[in-house]
Structure 1
């Protein structure tokens, strides 16, 4: 779905981007404008389903977290984006992420990282807390699928639609994404991805790996847990914010169909995204608006997604993280 962006976009990055062998992407600037986002520990981003670091080159391409990493770097942050399988289980994606977290620690000499994940990136970054909490200072989830999405349950229960999506997603879109990222060896499996993203699969994962940061109801979870890790989250509740954003308009109708309501961002239910300290759960943003896609197309009345990540970095800084 996001592949269309590569054809129409020119991304201007105020800095130098480097992709290491693992797929880790870094963004640096020669001279930051401020230290507003200068956290104690590096900030490491992780994408969601059908996600990527960058499709294309530095001069001709598009980042998943569009314009976010360069902005943070300009404001003093040490920031990285990680590359994991677009379609895989939380555990497999988590193991891929763990290798890149270790690489960040080796490159920077830091003891810990601040992890930020969008959508399936939420449970994926939580996997690092599960297996290596000593490497994590904080987790921030944006529309994280901690309690899953009924969209995935419905797709698993619809054999014809699942078969069609398997052909399109597992054998065409996801492999093309990893090819354009320069890492075509990454595995992809739609069924394992949907199980991890489903409400049923998420409940089983949370039962196996419980966390005080995940609330039992629609309230807040525990911000600081006993392992010393801080937890934050935010999400949106919009399904259409810009008539020019055809990709957003198409996919953001899925959750309303599954849940029979609009208390979601088009793919993830508002309450299912609650994690730790809920900064806000009613932004006028769709699931793609939350990562500043498609190419910053959003409602004129909505907050700038880039500024939300900058504010979160400052929040982490003030917390001593």
Structure 2
């Protein structure tokens, strides 16, 4: 029997880098959105640039929040951001805390990504490799926007990459510190300016059974990218370090998930990997219990 997890305020699912709401019949948050709607939650997926910096995307999110509030009559929203979407949500909550009931970071680089650091070092500003990478990534993002029916949204791949490095996120955090832990690997304040903060994330597991996923190329890519981590060596999901993901109340930061597992069903691996989609329904119940 489906649990009733109706939240007081609507939920907005905020995508990260190269994300989108819908392309044709494919929705990035399909499983998550369906599970939450089955649990009687009111759910929306805002339209944001696929690649841009945190503040540009944050302003876009604020505009979307206004539309949701006007359309639903609600006074606030609950924000759940995946990956860079977590930074986008944090920006919106910092600027308009009276319109945000909660921010939940899912696999969010809240202290930056060592992978972004490695890419930034490899792509020297002004050199040909950076120019080629920028053109390819930006055109890919424009293609995503076109297919999703949002061709007018601005795209800037270099701005997105710069916004995810540990240095840039450090600067971002100085301006918007709400919910951040005071010590590395710790928990942050549960509530700041009336906004509740939560986070969860995963790590690539060392045991053979969990890693035996030959038909999942995304998992292989994440394992290959994990070699770029030093601070969170052996404690990352391929894109984001475990302790970099901490924000507010840390529900758990070592689920056996790679970076994209936290958005999808476990594809027959449920005996090994907890179903990530159930975490969203559980979280809706958590928000419900908190009166959010």
TM-score after normalising by structure 2: 0.91
Shift, 1:297, TM fit: 6.7
Tell me which residue corresponds to 1:19: none
Which structure 2 residue ranges, 5 or more long, are not aligned?
206-210
**Kept after mapping to 2: 8 A contact 1:54/1:64:** yes
Tell me which residue corresponds to 1:196: 163
- Are 1:268 and 2:234 counterparts? no
Distance across 1 between alignment mates of 2:261 and 2:189: 27
Tell me which residue corresponds to 1:231: 197
Distance across 2 between alignment mates of 1:169 and 1:300: 37
Tell me which residue corresponds to 2:70: 106
Q: Counterparts in 2 of 1:169-184, with a 5 A limit?
A: 169-171=137-139, 173-184=140-151
Higher relative contact order (CA 8 A, sep 6+): 2
Distance across 2 between alignment mates of 1:202 and 1:178: 25
Deviations 1:121-158 (A, max 9, x none): 01100011111110000011101111010111111111
Distance across 2 between alignment mates of 1:184 and 1:259: 38
Tell me which residue corresponds to 1:133: 97
Distance across 1 between alignment mates of 2:30 and 2:224: 22
Tell me which residue corresponds to 1:8: none
**Larger CA deviation: 186-195 vs 85-94:** 186-195
**Larger CA deviation: 257-266 vs 145-154:** 257-266
Shift, 1:164, TM fit: 4.2
**Larger CA deviation: 47-56 vs 234-243:** 234-243
Among candidates 35, 43, 63, match of residue 79 of structure 1: 43
Among candidates 117, 126, 130, match of residue 153 of structure 1: 117
Three-state SS of the structure 1 residue aligned to 2:191 is coil
Shift, 1:241, TM fit: 6.2
Distance across 1 between alignment mates of 2:275 and 2:179: 30
Tell me which residue corresponds to 1:244: 215
Tell me which residue corresponds to 2:185: 218
Among candidates 222, 231, 256, match of residue 284 of structure 1: 256
Distance across 2 between alignment mates of 1:241 and 1:292: 18
Among candidates 2, 9, 13, match of residue 45 of structure 1: 13
- Are 1:187 and 2:154 counterparts? yes
Shift, 1:210, TM fit: 2.3
**Larger CA deviation: 42-51 vs 284-293:** 284-293
Which structure 1 residue ranges, 5 or more long, are not aligned?
1-32
**Kept after mapping to 1: 8 A contact 2:17/2:84:** yes
Among candidates 56, 60, 65, match of residue 92 of structure 1: 56
Tell me which residue corresponds to 1:166: 134
Change (3 A) 1:125 1:310: same
Structure with higher helix content: 2
Deviations 1:93-145 (A, max 9, x none): 00111111111101110000000000000110001111111000001110111
Three-state SS of the structure 2 residue aligned to 1:67 is helix
Change (3 A) 1:212 1:288: closer
Q: Counterparts in 2 of 1:3-14, with a 5 A limit?
A: none
Shift, 1:52, TM fit: 0.8
TM-score after normalising by structure 1: 0.83
Shift, 1:242, TM fit: 2.6
**Kept after mapping to 2: 8 A contact 1:147/1:273:** yes
How many residues of Structure 1 are paired with residues of Structure 2 in the alignment? 282
**Kept after mapping to 1: 8 A contact 2:90/2:176:** no
